[in-house]
Amino acid sequence: MQLSRYWKRDIVILLVAAFVVAWANGDLEGLLGIPGWQSYTVRIINMCAINTVLALSLNLVNGFTGQFSLGHAGFMALGAYTTALLTMSAAAKDRVFFMTPLVEPLRKLTLPFLPSLILAGLVAGVFSLVVGVPALRLRGDYLGIATLGFAEIIRLVIQNARSVTNGALGLKGIPPVVNLWWTLGAAVLCYLMLKNLISSSYGRAFKSIRENEIAAQAMGIDLFKHKLLAFFISSFWAGVGGGLLASLLTTIDPVQFKFPLTFQVLLMVVLGGMGSLSGSVISATIVTYLMEFLRVVEETHYLGSITIPGVPGLRMVIFSLTLVLVVVWYPKGLMGDRELSAEGLKQLLARFRKAIRLKGESSS
């Protein structure tokens, strides 16, 4: 009985959410004449959702399992290129690959978006095993170095394997399939999957490794297996995130997937709290919005006769400084390893009300 009541609540929430998404996405315009949101707002929400997927997945390894991966951009690149090459039409590929033709089976092959996206995740996942199997077998923290090197190698391979990736020229004309349904759908799915995983016995195994590796092993936990499992799932979602990004941007090139991309996701994880899923969701949203607003510092402004030159890359400097400040002054981030819950919100609200009431009493 209790369960069915919970389900009812979930269904109501889902229906309301679906309605809002349909409206924002512009699906209701033809049906009810209600226009969708402005494309600019929709674009930022799409980015928020994709960044949520990326932050959640990196948090699984770095926050919950206590391993240090720095290879997210590499796995995203694998996912982005896989999605692009599988969804582009033969004609679009021929237009792009004018210097070096694309190798044969790929040239004619075009798949629908969903299977391409799943394959993007799987390709990234398989490569995570290639890095993870040697790096995670060793004791100590070799994963950081191995993944950092791996991501750079992937990028260089992409830059040079022109008959597959079109090299430094990148890919253009990737079908813009992605909309709010895809990005928010992926974010919700990723969140639910990780939430179930983390609260399960497997999640406890991950956290025990983070807390004390020697004790975890002494309690019968297979360290290698569980680290690899977390790393695989994390990389799978990085690949999916890369695929979504490719379709959202419609153009990709190797330069996009340099280390600053990983750094940006890492910032979201640390800012939100290592080991907090809701923290990652919140901070992915905040950081995405800030990245948008801070565009002004990289643009040139004219105030009458005064010209303020924009500084390219200044946003990254600001974010690096933010990360340093957070790590030094507020190492737990927004949420620490706690989760946002309805119960917690109620308590916060109650405390807030009480504070207001007290203030009211003291001033009267």
Partner 1 sequence: MILEVREMRMQFGGLLAVDRLNLALKQGELVGLIGPNGAGKTTVFNVITGVYAPTRGTITLEGKDITGMRPDLITRMGIARTFQNIRLFSRMSVIENVLVSLHWRLRSGVFDAILQTRKYRDEEAEMRAKAMDLLARVNLDSVADLPAGSLPYGSQRRLEICRALATEPKVLLLDEPAAGMNPAESIELMKFIQKIRDEFGLTILLIEHQMRVVMGISERIVVLDHGVVIAEGTPREVSRNPRVIEAYLGVEQHA
Q: Which stretches of the chain bind partner 1, using CB under 8 A?
A: 193, 196-197, 200-205, 207-208, 211-212, 214-223, 229, 337
**Is 308 in a helix, a strand, or coil?**
strand
DSSP letter at 303? E
Residue 70: closest CA among 62, 78, 60: 62
Amino acid at 329: W
User: In this complex, which beta carbon is closest to partner 1, that of residue 213 or of residue 292?
Assistant: 213
User: In this complex, which beta carbon is closest to partner 1, that of residue 82 or of residue 208?
Assistant: 208
Task: Name every residue whose Cβ is closer than 8 Å to that of residue 253 and which is 6 or more positions away in sequence.
Answer: 168, 169, 170, 171
With 0-12 CB in 10 A as exposed, 13-18 as middle and 19+ as buried, what is 230? Answer: buried
In the chain, how long is the greatest CA-to-CA distance?
81
* Min separation Cβ 132 and partner 1, Å: 16
User: In this complex, which beta carbon is closest to partner 1, that of residue 223 or of residue 268?
Assistant: 223
Q: What does the alpha-carbon distance between residue 324 and residue 288 come to, in Å, rounded to a whole number? A: 18
Q: How many Å separate Cα 229 from the centre of its chain?
A: 18
Q: How many Å separate Cα 44 from the centre of its chain?
A: 14
User: In this complex, which beta carbon is closest to partner 1, that of residue 298 or of residue 337?
Assistant: 337
Residue 230: closest CA among 53, 69, 51: 69
**Is 177 in a helix, a strand, or coil?**
coil
Q: What does the alpha-carbon distance between residue 301 and residue 297 come to, in Å, rounded to a whole number? A: 9
* Min separation Cβ 212 and partner 1, Å: 5
Compute φ and ψ for 301, nearest 5 degrees.
-115, 145
* Min separation Cβ 275 and partner 1, Å: 8
User: In this complex, which beta carbon is closest to partner 1, that of residue 41 or of residue 212?
Assistant: 212
User: In this complex, which beta carbon is closest to partner 1, that of residue 84 or of residue 228?
Assistant: 228
* Min separation Cβ 76 and partner 1, Å: 22
**Is 23 in a helix, a strand, or coil?**
helix
Helix-helix angle 259-272:72-87, to 10 degrees: 120
Q: Map tokens 């983070």 to a residue.
A: 210
User: In this complex, which beta carbon is closest to partner 1, that of residue 93 or of residue 226?
Assistant: 226
* Min separation Cβ 34 and partner 1, Å: 36
Q: What does the alpha-carbon distance between residue 207 and residue 124 come to, in Å, rounded to a whole number? A: 24
* Min separation Cβ 273 and partner 1, Å: 12
User: In this complex, which beta carbon is closest to partner 1, that of residue 84 or of residue 205?
Assistant: 205
User: In this complex, which beta carbon is closest to partner 1, that of residue 59 or of residue 288?
Assistant: 59
User: In this complex, which beta carbon is closest to partner 1, that of residue 1 or of residue 218?
Assistant: 218
Indicate the helix (H) or strand (E) that contains 306. Answer: strand 306-308
Residue 186: closest CA among 284, 321, 256, 264: 284
Q: What does the alpha-carbon distance between residue 70 and residue 262 come to, in Å, rounded to a whole number? A: 6
* Min separation Cβ 195 and partner 1, Å: 9
* Min separation Cβ 65 and partner 1, Å: 13
* Min separation Cβ 216 and partner 1, Å: 7
For 25, other C-beta atoms within 10 Å of its C-beta total 18
* Min separation Cβ 12 and partner 1, Å: 20
